[in-house]
Amino acid sequence: MSDSIFEKAIESIMEHDEEMALEAVKRHLDSGAEPMELMNKGFIVGISKVGDLFGSGKMFLPELMMAADVMLAASQALNQAMPLGSQSGYSGFHITAATVKGDIHDIGKGIGIALFRANGFTVHDLGRDVDTEAMIDDAVKNGSRVIATSALLTTTLGEQKKLEESLKKSGLKGKIRTMVAGAPVTPRWASRIGADIYAENAHEGVVGVTKVAKEG
């Protein structure tokens, strides 16, 4: 596969151009190449660059949101090209995902979910502003092995700690793993509250959950 396809995918995210992104997907798939190759070498690189620009103040929220929309469209198009679980055989591995109570931001969560599904995992998206009890109830109901939470506000970080405490009280800690992500989340915070997986970005989230899945 020509590097130009990957460069076009990166450019489509940077320029938040959905038409360009879908054209890159079409060309990639028409060539017979693996869908996840374009995701890993193109779109994830692009969204990472966008995240860096936003973090350094060189890109503003509206542009970030437009880039995220393009990323989601590309992820969905690539996902449709793969039978469920075709990449990893993890369709039986369930993940409950939510943005914590008091937080209405879900751009990063949406990208992460798209990438999880593209890798074959089954994800139950509870949306935004979700309380701890609802996350645990969903995980128990669907047999989720991981509860993945996102928090973008420092004021809502405590909800991730609350989840750890609730799992301990209910005897589910260890049976249900936890993944924490979001702009203010750090490895130190994850370790402090006892989270099982820290994800700086969507790709790291997939790597962490895949490791748990392989443990059986």
DSSP secondary structure letters along 97-139:
EEEBTT----HHHHHHHHHHHHTT-EEEE--SSB-HHHHHHHH
Inter-helix orientation angle 61-80/44-55, to 10°: 170
Q: Tell me the pLDDT tens digit for each residue of 52-88.
A: 887 788 988 788 888 888 987 888 788 777 654 444 5
Rounded mean pLDDT, 1-18? 90
Q: In residues, how long is the chain?
A: 216
CB distance 180 to 190 below 8 Å: yes
Q: How far apart are CA 68 and CA 111, in angstroms?
A: 7
Q: Tell me the pLDDT tens digit for each residue of 138-162.
A: 999 999 999 999 998 899 999 999 9
Sorted by where each starts, the structural domains of the chain and their CATH numbers stand as 3-80 (1.10.1240.10), 94-215 (3.40.50.280)
